[in-house]
């Protein structure tokens, strides 16, 4: 399931998507990727419900160290199942933003040159309005947060990590 999530998000990252700085999520429209990644991470962490059974089996066989190691590896995989896809989309979104900002910069320079070379009959006011609009768009693109993380996604990530840790702590300090 975690592998499927990673592959799906990589496919989305390979698409030619746009960043909308005015999107209501405040993340340029990338929150859907974050919610998808955290949903699969949460489902992946549900596997920790089997940890008490694994602890019982390990306690009878004496391979507790191996089980603790596997739990730590499992927790790492839970974290990676969220972090890798979101970092990939973040990296891809930064590339798209860089390209868009370059285009906006070229547009601003072009408008600035039109103002500097304007003749008396040219409507400089209209060009200045377009220049101000282009600068505002540039600033909006430059300031958009591109990491698909919100407080609700963060709380789900923390709970996904804490679930296996909870069982590990119960086994270590309560049962023993």
Position 176 scores a pLDDT of 59
Collapsing DSSP states into helix, strand and coil, what is residue 83? helix
Position 37 scores a pLDDT of 84
**pLDDT at position 175 over 70:** no
**pLDDT at position 8 over 90:** no
**For all residues of the chain together, what is the average pLDDT?**
82
Of the ranges 21-30, 50-59, 106-115, which one carries the lowest mean pLDDT score?
50-59
Whole-angstrom distance, CA of residue 121 vs CA of residue 29 = 43
- Enter the tokens of residue 101: 């900002």
Owning domain of residue 129: 2-175
Position 121 scores a pLDDT of 62
pTM higher than 0.75, yes or no? no
Ramachandran class of 118: left when φ > 0, alpha when ψ lies in -120 to 50, beta otherwise? beta
pLDDT tens-digit series, residues 79-124: 888 888 888 888 998 999 999 999 999 999 998 888 888 776 667 8
Q: How many CA atoms lie within 13 A of 52 on its CB side?
A: 8
Position 10 scores a pLDDT of 81
**Total domains present in the chain:** 1
- Determine contact, residues 45/81, Cβ cutoff 8 Å: no
pLDDT tens-digit series, residues 118-163: 776 667 888 888 999 999 999 998 988 888 777 778 888 888 778 7
Is the CA virtual torsion 135, 21, 4, 51 positive or negative?
Answer: positive
Largest CA distance in the chain: 92
pLDDT tens-digit series, residues 55-69: 777 767 666 777 778
- Determine contact, residues 146/19, Cβ cutoff 8 Å: yes
């Amino acid at each position: 399931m975690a592998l499927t999530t990673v592959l799906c998000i990589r496919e989305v990252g390979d698409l030619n998507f746009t960043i909308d700085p005015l999107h209501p999520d405040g993340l340029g429209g990338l929150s859907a990727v974050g919610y998808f990644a955290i949903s699969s991470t949460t489902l992946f962490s549900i596997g920790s419900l089997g940890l008490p059974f694994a602890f019982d089996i390990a306690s009878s066989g004496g391979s507790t160290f191996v089980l603790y190691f596997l739990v730590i590896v499992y927790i790492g995989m839970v974290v990676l199942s969220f972090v890798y896809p979101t970092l990939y989309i973040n990296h891809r979104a930064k590339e798209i933003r860089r390209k868009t900002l370059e285009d906006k910069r070229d547009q601003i320079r072009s408008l600035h040159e039109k103002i500097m070379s304007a003749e008396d009959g040219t409507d400089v006011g209209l060009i200045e309005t377009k220049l101000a609009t282009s600068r505002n768009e540039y600033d909006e693109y430059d300031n958009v947060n591109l990491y698909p993380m919100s407080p609700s996604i963060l709380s789900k990530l923390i709970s996904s990590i804490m679930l296996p840790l909870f069982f590990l702590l119960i086994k270590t300090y309560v049962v023993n």
